[in-house]
Structure formats: C-alpha cells, structure tokens
Amino acid sequence: MAGLALSAACAPTPAPPAAPAATAAPPATAVPAAPVAPAAAAAAAAKPAAGALPDLKGKEITISYPRGEPQQLEEISKAFEAQTGLKFNRVVLPYGELYDKLLINLSQSTGAYDMTVVDDPWCPQFFSKGYVQELDPFFEKAGLKGLDSDFVPRTVDLSKWPAGTGKIMGIDFLGNVQLYAYRKDLLEKYGMQPPKTWDEVFQFASMVKQKESEMYGYAMRGKAVNPAVSAFMPIFWGHGAEMFDDNYNPLFNSEKSLAALEFWVKLAKETAPPGVATFDSIEVTRSLFSGESAQSMVWPAWAGVLDDPSQSKTVGKWGLGVAPAQPGGKGGSMMGNWLLAIPQGAKNADAAFQFMLFASGPEGQRIHAMQGIPPTRSSVFQDPDILAKRPYFKSIHENLQVARYRPRITNWGAVENAFGTQISSALSGENSPKDALNTVQRDVVELMKKEGYLK
C-alpha cells in the first residue's frame, strides 16, 4: 500500500479541550513481544551517517526506555557513545513501571531524565499537559526545518501535538504497525487471490475450516482490554466505523460499529480455534507458527518468526499484506509506535537532542533495523541490505503509510478498558454485540464527560 494516498488513513484527531481533568494511569498497552533471533553486531553493520557528529566528551545524559528483546536504543546509544564521547546513564524498566516513573518525574519536572522513550498511547497525556519539551526550538537551533521528508508521513503526524497539525513534541523512531498475514500456499491451492476485503477474509477462512484437516481459518487475540482492542481495530475501521466524531461524541453503537463487531464474532465462531476470547499473543503465535491457523493480523515481531525454521513449522508459506477493508471503509492497521522525547526539567537537553537526531536518523534506524526493530524512515525500509535480512519490512513500510493511530485523547486507557472488556464479552458469547456496544457507548459518554471533553 506504499503508493496509496495518505488520505486513505484517518484524519488527524482535533485538539482536546484546553484543560481536561486529570486521568488515571492507562493500563499497559505495550505491543506483544515474540521471540526474535539474536541481533548481529548492529553498530558495525550500520552505514555511516551524513555529516560529522558533535564532540560531546565530558557530557552525560540519562535516558529511559522499556525492557525488551531486542532492546530498544541499546546498540544505538553504544554507537553514539563510541563516536561522540557522550556518556549514557541508562534506565531500563518494565513497561508498566516505566510509565509510572515517567508520570511522576515528568509531571513534577524533576530532571531525572534527559530523554525518554514514549509509547504512542501515552502521547496525548504527556504532550497536552506539557510534560515534555517542544522540539521546534531545538531543530531551529540546529539549523534544521523539522522532521525531513524521509520519515513516513504518518509518523510525522504522530510526532506532533495536536496530531498532524501542531508543534513537534517527540520524534517517532520505531514504526511498529500491524500486518495482515495469510497462508499463500492455501490460497494458491484453492485458486484464490489474497483477500482485499473482510468478506474475502471470511470466505478464505471458511474454505480452510471446511477443507483442511485440523485447521482453522483465522486466529485473533480476544482477551479482554488491550489484546481484544488491538485485534479488533482493523476490522472496526475496515467497516467504516469510528470511535468519535469531530466533537468527541462517542460512536461505539453506530450501525457500522455493530456491523464490525457482528462480523468479528461470526469470524471467531465459525472459523477460529476454540477459546479465542481468551487468546493473547502466545496463543495466536502458537496457532500460526504450528500451522493450525491460516490468517491473522500480526505485529512485526511475529512476522519475523513466521519464516524462522527454528520456531515455525510453516516457513515459506506466508504472505503479508495491508489490512483488508470493506467497500467504503477507510481500513488501516493500528500503529503501536514509539517516540523519543525530552522531559521538562531535563538537565542536558541539548546533548539529548543530538542523540535523538542520531537515533532517529538513517544510521540509528539502520542499527535498529538490523536487529529486527522497524524504522520510520523510507530510506531504511528500502535499504537492500536490510530487506535481504528482513524481507517482511516491505510490508511494514506499506502498512505504515496508511496506518491509523488510536484516538488522541488523554483518557485512552479508560476508554480502551471499557471497549476491550465489552467486545471480548461479545466474542465469548457472554453478551450480544448490540448489548456490548450499547454498554460501551454509555460508559464512554460518562468517561468523556469526566475528562472534560463533553458537557
């Protein structure tokens, strides 16, 4: 979908009211991890960056980022340290603990961190409340005009507040986005083309369920809250549904929303493995890697394992595409990107910004890409050496250009909890799709009033 216009994705969400009420910490919404092969010597494999790097000997910065495998920023910071002399104090924390620490330190401008990684769902809260510094003055001081055209446009939108139109508050440096995965060998067997609509996804899923022994047509994460919401959003958007109108009025029980949930429930009931209402990343990836299921929306970490013979029994049988959409639906995969930001009160903001430029630049993103961490720059996605090692990056690039981000609201964690609980209950049969969405609508109206978006 690399050639599709940006307008195919959602329009930027309007800015929230001037001073929404304080919100509780959102639940952990980190993108699920999957086993990834050990990284090569990333720094040695990186290509030289354009322009000389500054001499930062005698200076040091404290940076924070989430614990993971492969580890964000680890190799990049080591490469920058070797080339500039800048000393790093690295604070590496589990996802939920990182959010809690950031919320305390950033809201009080303690100066504990000079730079931090920020998950996409945290951005509305951190950006709108001024917890991080506007970056436009740093770009101007460096003689730069902002984020250059090599960044995929949707990632530039996400870096601004208000999204798409405002000031640069962070730099989106990690392009994590969902991909549509399908068994291309079975499509060929049945004489079918890769599905473009969700109806075609269902037709293929039904064919597999009927004709393949001990196989299922589609696997999804149905566990309540974040797993269910992440799995459902491409279908929701693909049916033309939206969560809010331009004035923050919830639209969860609209006709299009109901059509999407009824489809998802039917897809699960008729084609998916038993118990999908409790499935999370482990169950879905096991179903795909074992050959039990023929389709799913997957994250890049999973895509990298589909063709790994040490972990997958279905090597060479998968195709990757953009999220399907019904006629008239905008479609789009959900973004789970990560950004770099400078907290208020940072003691060494200028040195931190120099590192941000490197980490988000071609050299830094190549280091990540060789580890299997997706970039946000088109030139890195298209690098022949990287594509030879990570061929699935081509699909990440295509999806990222029309991907959609979650609503830019400061209480997303509470809204996601209300939405994810109910759609999972519909998947399990505990509630009907209509009753589930009516409950979501009622609850989210109250949440939006409490947060100051609605009167």
More confident residue, 14 or 154: 154
Residue 51 pLDDT class (50, 70, 90 cuts): low
Strand, helix or coil for residue 35: coil
Residue 27 pLDDT class (50, 70, 90 cuts): very low
- Please indicate, yes or no, whether residues 235 and 205 belong to a single structural domain of this protein: yes
pLDDT at residue number 33: 42
pLDDT at residue number 329: 87
pLDDT at residue 276 greater than cutoff 90: yes
pLDDT at residue 41 greater than cutoff 70: no
The answer to whether the beta carbons of residues 415 and 447 sit under 8 Å apart is yes
Which domain, by its residues, includes 434?
Answer: 179-334+411-451
Of residues 31, 78, 409, 43, the one with CA closest to residue 221? 31
Residue 36 pLDDT class (50, 70, 90 cuts): very low
- Please indicate, yes or no, whether residues 104 and 31 belong to a single structural domain of this protein: yes
**Distance (Å, whole) CA 418 – CA 147:** 35
User: For the domain that residue 91 is a member of, what is the CATH number?
Assistant: 3.40.190.10
Q: Look at strands 87-93 and 60-66 and give their pairing.
A: parallel
pLDDT at residue number 17: 42
The stretch 325-334 carries a mean pLDDT of: 91
**Distance (Å, whole) CA 215 – CA 271:** 9
- Please indicate, yes or no, whether residues 380 and 259 belong to a single structural domain of this protein: no
The stretch 327-349 carries a mean pLDDT of: 95
Q: What are the angstrom distances between the C-alpha of 35 and each of 135, 179, 213, 306?
A: 35, 17, 28, 11
The stretch 290-305 carries a mean pLDDT of: 97
- Please indicate, yes or no, whether residues 282 and 167 belong to a single structural domain of this protein: no
Give 374's contacts (C-beta < 8 A, 6+ positions apart).
174, 175, 176, 177, 300, 368, 381, 393, 396, 400
Report if residue 8 sits inside a domain.
no
- Please indicate, yes or no, whether residues 393 and 352 belong to a single structural domain of this protein: yes
Taking only the tens place, the pLDDT of each residue in 358-372 is: 999 999 999 999 999
- Please indicate, yes or no, whether residues 137 and 165 belong to a single structural domain of this protein: yes
pLDDT at residue 26 greater than cutoff 80: no
pLDDT at residue 50 greater than cutoff 60: no
- Please indicate, yes or no, whether residues 324 and 352 belong to a single structural domain of this protein: no
Report if residue 11 sits inside a domain.
no
More confident residue, 20 or 239: 239
Whether the model clears a pTM of 0.95, i.e. scores above it, the answer is no
Give 265's contacts (C-beta < 8 A, 6+ positions apart).
426, 427, 433
pLDDT at residue number 328: 87
Residue 18 pLDDT class (50, 70, 90 cuts): very low
27-36, 123-132, 384-393: range with lowest mean pLDDT: 27-36
> What average pLDDT does the structure give for the chain?
91
pLDDT at residue number 69: 87
Q: Which H or E run contains 380?
A: helix 378-381
The stretch 262-289 carries a mean pLDDT of: 98
Report if residue 384 sits inside a domain.
yes
DSSP state of 26: P
**Distance (Å, whole) CA 381 – CA 375:** 7
Report if residue 292 sits inside a domain.
yes
pLDDT at residue 381 greater than cutoff 50: yes
Report if residue 293 sits inside a domain.
yes
**Distance (Å, whole) CA 174 – CA 158:** 11
pLDDT at residue number 330: 84
- Please indicate, yes or no, whether residues 172 and 305 belong to a single structural domain of this protein: no
Report if residue 368 sits inside a domain.
yes
Q: Tell me how many helices (H) and strands (E) the chain has.
A: 19, 10
Report if residue 3 sits inside a domain.
no
Taking only the tens place, the pLDDT of each residue in 191-237 is: 999 999 999 999 999 999 999 999 999 999 999 999 999 999 999 99
Strand, helix or coil for residue 92: strand
- Please indicate, yes or no, whether residues 289 and 143 belong to a single structural domain of this protein: no
pLDDT at residue 93 greater than cutoff 90: yes
- Please indicate, yes or no, whether residues 269 and 417 belong to a single structural domain of this protein: yes
Report if residue 136 sits inside a domain.
yes
Instruction: Return the percentage of the chain with pLDDT > 70, whole number.
Output: 89
- Please indicate, yes or no, whether residues 312 and 185 belong to a single structural domain of this protein: yes
- Please indicate, yes or no, whether residues 92 and 127 belong to a single structural domain of this protein: yes
Structural domains in the chain (count) = 2
